[in-house]
Amino acid sequence: MELTHFNKSGRAQMVDVSEKNPTVRQAVAMARISMNRETLGLIQGGAIGKGDVLAVAQVAGIGAAKRTWELIPMCHPIPLTGVDIAFTIEQSPPAIAVTATVSTSYVTGVEMEALTAATTAALTIYDMCKAVQKDMVIGDVLLVEKTGGKSGDYRRDV
């Protein structure tokens, strides 16, 4: 596999995608934030003092997907056509799984946007709940699937 993020001098570069044709692309990523039962109950009951935790995390994840190119140095600004953030409450062990689905019709993929969205939503849950629990753990950040583009489709069994 040829590494394209290096120029002739061996220095990092942003890949030139100007010759590529736009295709429909989608990526799904997830992150999980583990917490104790009491914190999960407060989230579910709408009893966290900062507000509706999942609503704020959803907006944060969407915003993060849109701004990924500002955070990750070699990412291109991508015109996103869709971003969805979904939450799955897990009772045992207590956790919230965040799933981000990002779509575009463009010349490069949206894997980094999906990963950034899922991670930022999990970080937002942490921020909103840290007053009641500081030892929450964010983990299991992974690309679930991607479709479109030259490298083809990818699907992880989760």
Cα 130 to the chain's mean position, in Å?
Answer: 21
What are the catalytic residues?
127
Cα torsion 85, 140, 24, 149 to 10°: value is 170
Does the structural domain 27-150 have CATH classification 3.30.70.640?
A: yes
Q: Are 128 and 50 in contact (CB under 8 A)?
A: yes
CA distance 29 to 144: 5
pLDDT band at residue 124 under the 50/70/90 scheme: very high
Residue 6 has pLDDT above 80, yes or no: no
- For residue 2, pLDDT beyond 90: no
pLDDT of residue 11: 84
Record the tokens describing residue 54, joined without a space.
């999942």
pTM over 0.85: yes
- How many Cα atoms occupy the beta-carbon half-sphere of 58 within 13 Å? 10
